[in-house]
């Protein structure tokens, strides 16, 4: 096969305890999947069907990296999330069988240009400019699923410059991990390498140039990034 230019390198994530890496195919994100966050964003947290948006695979930023403050925004926000990595694909997956499709878990951040997202909401346009920009999906190393004792009751937290900004538990998800996979598989044929950012608890807010972020999940490898000054 001959290409007119070199294809981009495969985006991948490290796997805890392994020299192998996890190739990333697509990134799906669940909107408003914690009731407290839905309320703080002015929405009804009832169990309406979940909705999804996407980020490009090359928006991944690994732990230890410096994130460039993105273009066009004056209001960059953090959103702490548990990330689900799929090792098996499929469509119309039942919630009762969804866990068999999970390779592992990581802690991640859905970085958001909030001013651009709000502008898109007001004009009823897609959220891509607010969500799908370069380096908008920081993600820690993956921990295989068999090493995560209770993903459905997992404490997560985010500290910025040492201060706790977000904390929550996956027990508070409106739609469980398995239900999210089931719903997503009705709209898309899922594949190995897909990542799902499962939603953020309350406490989202701005980050500034020079801020140091540490995201943690119980039993997971922490994610650390610095916003470039």
pLDDT at 41: 56
Which residues neighbour 45 within 8 Å (Cβ) at sequence distance 6 or greater?
A: 32, 34, 35, 36, 38, 39, 174
Question: In the chain, what percentage of residues exceed pLDDT 70?
Answer: 95
The helix (H) or strand (E) run that includes residue 177 is helix 177-187
Q: Are 30 and 169 in contact (CB under 8 A)?
A: no
User: What pLDDT, on a 0 to 100 scale, did the predictor assign at position 48?
Assistant: 76
DSSP string, 54-79: EE-GGGEEETTPEEPPPTT-S-EEE-
Cβ neighbours of residue 29 under 8 Å, at least 6 residues apart?
Answer: 52, 53, 54, 55, 81, 110, 131, 196, 197
Query: Count of CB atoms within 10 A of residue 7's CB?
Result: 8
Global pTM reads: 0.95
**If pLDDT is split at 50, 70 and 90, which confidence band does 229 have?**
confident
For the chain, give every domain's residue range.
Answer: 22-227
Q: What pLDDT does residue 45 have? A: 64
* pLDDT for 37: 54
Q: Which residues pair with 62 in a beta bridge?
A: 139
With b for 16 or more beta-carbon neighbours within 10 A and e for fewer, the 184-208 pattern comes to: bbeeeebeebbbbbbbbbbbbeebe
**Mean predicted confidence (pLDDT) in 80-107:** 98
Two tokens at 130? 């607010």
Percentage of the chain modeled with pLDDT above 90 = 90
Question: Are 107 and 156 a contacting pair, CB within 8 Å?
Answer: yes
Longest pairwise C-alpha distance within the chain: 52
Quick one: pLDDT at residue 32? 86
Residue 175 has pLDDT above 80, yes or no: yes
Structure tokens that stand for 142 in this block: 């993956």
- Can you tell me the mean pLDDT for 22-28? 98
Q: What pLDDT digit, counting tens, does each position of 133-152 carry?
A: 999 999 999 999 999 999 99
Tell the CATH topology of 22-227: Fumarylacetoacetate hydrolase; domain 2 (3.90.850)
The band of 44, judged by pLDDT with boundaries at 50, 70 and 90, is: low
Contact 106, 139 (CB under 8 A): yes
Give the pLDDT score at 49. Answer: 83
CB 80 within 8 A of CB 168: yes
Token pair recorded at residue 1 = 């096969």
């Amino acid at each position: 096969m001959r290409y007119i230019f070199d294809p981009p390198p495969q985006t991948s994530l490290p796997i805890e305890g392994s020299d192998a890496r996890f190739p990333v195919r697509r990134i799906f994100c669940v909107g408003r999947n914690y009731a407290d966050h839905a309320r703080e964003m002015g929405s009804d947290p009832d169990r309406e069907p979940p909705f999804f948006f996407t980020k490009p695979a090359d928006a991944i930023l690994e732990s230890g990296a410096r994130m460039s403050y993105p273009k066009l925004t004056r209001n960059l926000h953090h959103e702490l999330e548990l990330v689900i990595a799929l090792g098996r694909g499929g469509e119309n997956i039942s919630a009762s069988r969804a866990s068999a499709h999970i390779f592992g878990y990581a802690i991640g951040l859905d970085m958001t240009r909030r001013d651009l997202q709000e502008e898109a909401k007001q004009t009823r346009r897609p959220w891509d400019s607010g969500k799908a920009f370069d380096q908008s999906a920081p993600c820690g190393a993956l921990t295989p699923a068999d090493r995560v004792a209770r993903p459905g009751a997992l404490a997560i937290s985010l500290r910025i410059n040492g201060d706790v900004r977000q904390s929550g538990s996956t027990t508070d998800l409106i739609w469980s991990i398995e239900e999210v996979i089931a719903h997503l598989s009705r709209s898309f044929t899922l594949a190995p390498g897909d990542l799902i950012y499962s939603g953020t608890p309350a406490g989202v807010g701005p980050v500034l140039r020079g801020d140091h972020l540490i995201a943690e999940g119980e039993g997971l490898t922490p994610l650390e990034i610095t916003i470039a000054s």
